[in-house]
Amino acid sequence: EVQLVQSGAEVKKPGESLKISCRVSGYTFTTYWIGWVRQMPGKGLEWMGIIQPGDSDTRYSPSFQGQVTISVDKSISTAYLQWSSLKASDTAMYFCARQGPTITLDFWGRGTLVTVSS
């Protein structure tokens, strides 16, 4: 059974750093790209970027390029999304998802809620 298990909710202050995770099981991690999607409170879905776990080839949306870093640790089948300096506007739910054989996001994690507040 394919599963993407995301790390728990975070409450941070502006300027702090953060790395959230997405642990994958149920298939060979390096076979499919992993994507990250942001959903701000009460808003729609925003595609942030994707990473190929095999070689860490990464594509970012221009809206998120330079704002976040997507990475993986193949040894533990885990993808990461990190910020070096959080802003209040980073408050959102962040989903990881597998980009499956149809290139769509076919399996999703339950999301990690990130709250940034002073």
Partner 1 sequence: DIVVTQSPDSLAVSLGERATINCKSSQSVLYSSNNKNYLAWYQQKPGQPPKLLISWASTRESGVPDRFSGSGSGTDFTLTITSLQAEDVTVYYCQQYYSPPYTFGQGTKLEIK
Residues that bind partner 1 (CB under 8 A): 35, 37, 44-47, 49-50, 59-63, 95, 97, 102-106, 108-111
DSSP 10-66: EEE-TT--EEEEEEEESS-GGGSEEEEEEE-TT--EEEEEEEETTTTEEEE-TTTBT
Minimum Å gap between C-beta 47 and partner 1 is 5
CB-wise, 102 or 118, nearer to partner 1?
Answer: 102
Q: Least separation, in Å, of the C-beta of 63 and partner 1?
A: 7
Rounded-to-integer distance, Cα 105 and Cα 100, Å: 6
In sequence order, what are the beta bridge partners of 107? 98
Q: Cβ closer to partner 1: 65 or 84? A: 65
How far apart are CB 75 and partner 1 at their closest, in Å?
Answer: 26
Pick between residue 10 and residue 46 the one whose CB is nearest to partner 1. Answer: 46
Give the nearest distance from C-beta 108 to partner 1 in angstroms.
4
Residue written as tokens 């390096």?
30
44 vs 118, beta carbon nearer partner 1: 44
Separation of alpha carbons 70 and 1, rounded Å? 25
